[in-house]
Amino acid sequence: MEVLSTTEKERDRVVKREVYAGYGVSEYWAVDPCCKTIEVMVLSGHNYGPGRVLGAGDALKSDVLPGLELDVESVFAGVWKRGSCEDG
């Protein structure tokens, strides 16, 4: 899981994702507290496949942790929105 920085989103989304893939991390979650979304990507070979972007009203079900299910909206309960989702 990577909580995206408000100032370094692209570094978090690209560079760190490649590092995790290189270490064989099976599932990568990019958590965006500004937009209150979680992008879930599963490792396929040496790269992550297309991500699923989840937000309010969605349930995150892990492909690699059987039985894990999170209500995305509850993950962000109490998180204040700062800036724009397009920032960074």
Residue that wins the pLDDT comparison between 37 and 80:
37
Share above pLDDT 90 across residues of the chain, in percent, rounded to a whole number:
60
Q: Which whole number is the average pLDDT over 4-27? A: 89
Predicted local confidence at residue 83, as pLDDT: 54
C-beta separation of 34 from 84 below 8 A: yes
Nearest to 33 by CA among 60, 73, 63, 68: 73
Q: What is the pLDDT of residue 88?
A: 47
What is the rounded CA–CA span in Å between residue 79 and residue 35?
10
- Give CA–CA dist 78/24, Å, rounded: 33
Structural domains of the chain, ranges and CATH numbers in brackets: 2-75 (3.90.1570.10)
